[in-house]
Amino acid sequence: MPNDIAFYLIAAFTVAFAAAAMTLRRLVHCALCAAAAFAGLAMIYLQLDAEFVGFAQLLVYVGAIAILIVFAILLTRGDEVRPGHSQSSPSWMAGVAVAALMLAGMAMAILLSPSLQHPAPSAAVAPVKQIGGELMTRYVLPLEMAGVLLTGALLGAVVIAMHEESDVKQPARCPASKGAEPDEAMSLR
């Protein structure tokens, strides 16, 4: 029973921080709330007896990805909060409506399915030793591919973000130039 209460508390924490991450105005606040939501998910993994995945989630998401996002926000400062300038796209209501419809559909499917209502089987453990053994035997090829992919992504990220002197500096034509000044727009293309 305490396990159930823990689940509902962590679930409320995670959903609240995820919603805050998607609705707050300042980008840094959004990134920090997203990190908290990822930490909540790591707690849910721990509560589901998947210790290794929980700690991997904590290391990768809270430790690395959140920091990376904060760095990207700091490097792209300047187009953030302008007074009287909306943070959401013009058709945001349609997007939120689509998401709400999708949630309603999925929730109905989940709640109406009788096979999902039974409690968990008692024993399920994923010992780290067994995970390591599986990674080195059955999943060794995917593990190597993941290493190659990470190396490629690292090199690709460096190459993409590297500073080039020949950058074409195009000033932002947004949002004042929506539909305006067609001559300049034509000459730029």
Partner 1 sequence: MNTPLSHYLILSALLFCIGLAGAVARRSAILVLIGVELMLNAANLNFIAFWRYGPHAEALTGVMFVLFSIAIAAAEVAVGLALVIAIYRQRKTAQVDCLDSLKG
Q: Which CB atom, from 142 or from 181, has the smaller least distance to partner 1?
A: 142
Rounded least distance, CB 184 to partner 1, Å: 13
Would you give the distance in Å from CA 170 to the centre of its chain?
30
For the segment 136-175, give every residue that binds partner 1 (CB under 8 A): 139, 142, 146, 149-150, 152-154, 156-158, 160-161, 163, 167-175
DSSP H or E segment with residue 187: helix 182-188
Report yes or no: 45 and 126 within 8 Å, Cβ to Cβ.
no
**Residues touching partner 1, count (CB under 8 A):** 99
Q: Which of 122, 182, 183, 186 binds partner 1 (CB under 8 A)?
A: 122
Rounded Cα distance, 180 and 87, in Å: 21
Rounded Cα distance, 115 and 112, in Å: 9
Site string for partner 1, 83-102 (x = CB under 8 A): ---xxxxx-x--xx-xxx-x
For the segment 31-70, give every residue that binds partner 1 (CB under 8 A): 31, 34, 37-38, 41, 44-45, 48-50, 52-53, 56-57, 60-61, 64-65, 68-69
Sequence-distant (≥ 6) Cβ neighbours of residue 21 within 8 angstroms: 30, 31, 33, 34, 36, 37
Rounded least distance, CB 178 to partner 1, Å: 9
